[in-house]
Amino acid sequence: MVFNFLKGQFIDVIEWLDDSRDTLVWRFERYGNNIMMGAKLTVREGQAAVFVHEGQMADIFGPGLYELQTNNMPIMTALQHWSHGFDSPFKSEIYFVNTRRFADLKWGTQNPIMLRDPEFGPIRLRAFGSYAIQVSEPGKFMTEIVGTDGDFTQDKITGQIRNIIVQKVSRVLAGSGVPALDMAANTKELSDVIREGIDPTMDEYGLDVVELYIENISLPPEVEKVLDQRTSMGIVGDLNKYTQFSAAQAMQNAAEGGGDNAMGAGLGMGMGMGMAQSMANTMGGMNQQPQGGQPGAAAPPPPPPPAQAAWHIAENGQTKGPFAVAQLQEMVAQGALTRETLVWTQGQEGWQKAGDTNALSQLFGATPPPPPPPPAG
Residue 333 lies in a domain: yes
Asked if 84 and 106 sit in the same domain, the reply is no
- 9 and 30 co-located in one domain: yes
Is 125 found in the same domain as 92?
Answer: no
pLDDT in tens, 146-158: 887 888 999 999 9
Answer for the pair 25, 146: CB distance below 8 angstroms, yes or no: yes
Do 12 and 87 belong to one domain?
yes
- Residue 155 contacts residue 242 (beta carbons within 8 Å): no
| 137 domain-assigned | yes
Examine residue 302 and state whether it is found in any structural domain, yes or no. no
Q: What are 250-306's pLDDT values in tens digits?
A: 776 766 665 555 454 454 555 455 444 554 454 455 445 445 445 545 567 777 666
Q: Given this model, what pLDDT does residue 5 score?
A: 38
Residues 259 and 177 both lie in one domain: no
Query: Which value, to the nearest 10 degrees, does the dihedral of the CA atoms of residues 65, 69, 74, 75 take?
Result: 90
Identify the pLDDT of residue 299. 65
Same domain for 194 and 266, yes or no, is no
- Residue ending a domain, among 98, 123, 148, is 98
Give me the DSSP letters along 120-185: TEEEEEEEEEEEEEEES-HHHHIIIIITT-SEEETHHHHHHHHHHHHHHHHHHHHHS---GGGGGG
- For residue 374, being part of any structural domain is answered with no
Residues 82 and 13 in one domain: yes
Pairwise CA distance, residues 130 & 361, whole Å: 73
Q: Is 219 part of any domain? A: yes
Q: What is the C-alpha separation between 31 and 119, in angstroms, rounded? A: 66
Asked if residue 289 belongs to a domain, the reply is: no
**Low-confidence residues in the chain, pLDDT < 70:** 1-11, 30-33, 77-89, 233-242, 245-246, 252, 254-299, 304-308, 366-370, 377
Same domain, 106 and 76: no
Residue 65 belongs to some domain of the structure: yes
- Domain containing residue 208: 102-224
Residues 77 and 92 in one domain: yes
- Residue 7 is predicted with a pLDDT of 44
Q: How far apart are CA 153 and CA 348, in angstroms?
A: 86
Collapsing DSSP to helix, strand or coil, 306 comes out as coil
Give the SS3 label for residue 310. coil
Domain count, the chain: 3
CATH number at residue 264: 3.30.1490.40
Last residue of a domain, one of 57, 77, 98: 98
Both 67 and 180 in a single domain?
Answer: no
